[in-house]
């Protein structure tokens, strides 16, 4: 066998191994995405603990205090909410809302248009909800993925800094500078996207607590914490708390409080976070256009299901890093 034939065979084997690894890992790409997201969101806490506890213990504390409780709470409550939402009788809700609107003297034409809009919105959202339920219902598979997320998040926190050197080691020397710039921009994009999202959820939790307290909702602090946690998942968000509350008060015939909760939630816990607060916070940190941020945190989950909550920001962050690297290279030239 000649040297050229040996080199060709070596390349074929390398490509085959790479494709085999990719095929094997692809079904668990959401595990890597969520692990990356949780690692970035807990990175500020990890950095604070690192000088005192060391790498291993700092990563473990972040995992025990933030990642594990957040994942378990979200999955349990999210499944219950999705199952509940799927069984909602939109006609019954519409009739209750019509009673409320009639109470305030709103004319029938506006009511009919509102009813049609409500039905269309539900039909649009329902396929995404069913997709998420199907993913959550695969319990044994989900348990394996959750355990993998915990372990992978731990090692991303503990040894994540080694990834850059490991990647650069396999890059040809003439491409190392450009790859290094890309990895730096990628790290900044991911860090700012996910930390920005976590900071946004904190703001939403505070706003929710103030609003629920002023409206007079019982257990305002608990509901605020729950709202802040759900705000980490933009599509799920605050509506998973204020919509059930609204329905409860409509059924209780406390229409004033129901209307107050619905208006407060729709404006301050849904519209404001997804279209103002999150784009502003993330844009300030990551210098991303608000449209890209909406694509990352809204369209990603709608298109990809549950995995889109993490994959959406990662894809958009990678796109931003590619363009930032290209612009930097042009400026240098």
The parent domain of residue 167 ranges over 27-332
Mean pLDDT, 10 residues at a time, over the chain (333 residues)?
A: 76 87 85 88 88 89 85 69 59 60 55 59 62 58 81 89 82 83 85 79 88 87 81 68 82 82 86 72 60 74 76 85 77 60
What's the domain count of the chain?
1
**Any domain includes 15:** no
pLDDT for position 138:
56
Can you spell out the DSSP letters for 231-298? TTSTTTTTHHHHHHHHHHHHHTT-HHHHHHHHHHIIIIIIIHIIIIIHHHHHHHHH---HHHHHIIII
Residue 239: count of CB within 10 angstroms of its CB: 19
Rounded CA separation 325/159 (Å): 25
User: Do 229 and 70 contact (CB within 8 A), yes or no?
Assistant: yes
Residues 99, 104, 107, 110: what is their CA dihedral angle, to the nearest 10 degrees? -80
Report yes or no on 20 lying in a domain.
Answer: no
Question: What is the reported pLDDT for 251?
Answer: 76
Q: What is the pLDDT of residue 146?
A: 83
- The CA distance from 197 to 190, in Å, is 10
Which pLDDT does position 234 carry in this prediction?
Answer: 55
DSSP string, 11-60: HHHHHHHHHHHHHHHGGGHHHHHHHHHHHHHHHHHHHHHHHHHHHHHHHH
Residue 175 lies in a domain: yes
Assigned domain for 5 exists: no
Is the residue at 193 inside a domain? yes
pLDDT recorded at residue 114: 58
Asked if the structure places residue 13 within a domain, the reply is no
Helix (H, G, I), strand (E, B) or coil at 137: helix
pLDDT value, residue 285: 52
pTM greater than 0.75: no
Asked whether residue 12 is assigned to any structural domain, the reply reads no
Residue 98 is predicted with a pLDDT of 61
In-domain check, residue 39: yes
By the 8 A CB rule, do 122 and 2 touch?
no
């Amino acid at each position: 066998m000649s040297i050229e034939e040996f080199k060709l065979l070596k390349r074929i084997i390398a490509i085959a191994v790479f494709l085999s690894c990719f095929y094997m890992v692809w079904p668990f790409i959401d595990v890597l995405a969520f692990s990356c997201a949780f690692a970035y969101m807990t990175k500020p806490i990890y950095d604070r603990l690192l000088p005192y506890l060391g790498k291993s213990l700092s990563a473990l504390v972040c995992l025990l205090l933030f990642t594990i409780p957040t994942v378990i709470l979200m999955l349990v409550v999210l499944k219950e909410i999705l199952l509940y939402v799927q069984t909602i009788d939109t006609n019954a809700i519409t009739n209750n809302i019509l009673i409320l609107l009639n109470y305030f003297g709103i004319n029938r034409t506006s009511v009919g248009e509102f009813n049609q809009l409500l039905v269309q919105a539900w039909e649009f959202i329902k396929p995404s909800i069913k997709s998420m339920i199907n993913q959550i219902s695969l319990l044994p598979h989900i348990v394996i993925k959750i355990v993998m997320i915990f372990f992978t998040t731990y090692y991303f926190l503990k040894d994540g800094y080694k990834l850059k050197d490991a990647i650069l080691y396999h890059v040809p020397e003439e491409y190392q500078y450009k790859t290094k710039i890309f990895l730096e921009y990628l790290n900044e994009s991911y860090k700012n996207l996910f930390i920005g999202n976590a900071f946004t959820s904190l703001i939403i939790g505070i706003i929710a607590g103030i609003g629920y307290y002023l409206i007079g909702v019982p257990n305002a602090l608990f509901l605020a914490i729950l709202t802040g946690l759900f705000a980490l998942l933009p599509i799920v968000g605050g509506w998973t708390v204020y919509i059930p509350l609204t329905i409860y008060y409509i059924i209780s015939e406390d229409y004033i409080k129901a209307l107050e909760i619905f208006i407060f939630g729709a404006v301050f816990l849904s519209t404001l976070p997804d279209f103002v607060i999150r784009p502003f916070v993330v844009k300030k940190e990551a210098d991303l256009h608000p449209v890209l941020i909406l694509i990352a945190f809204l369209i990603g989950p709608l298109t990809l299901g549950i995995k889109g909550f993490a994959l959406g920001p990662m894809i958009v962050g990678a796109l931003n890093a590619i363009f930032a690297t290209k612009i930097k290279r042009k400026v240098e030239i």
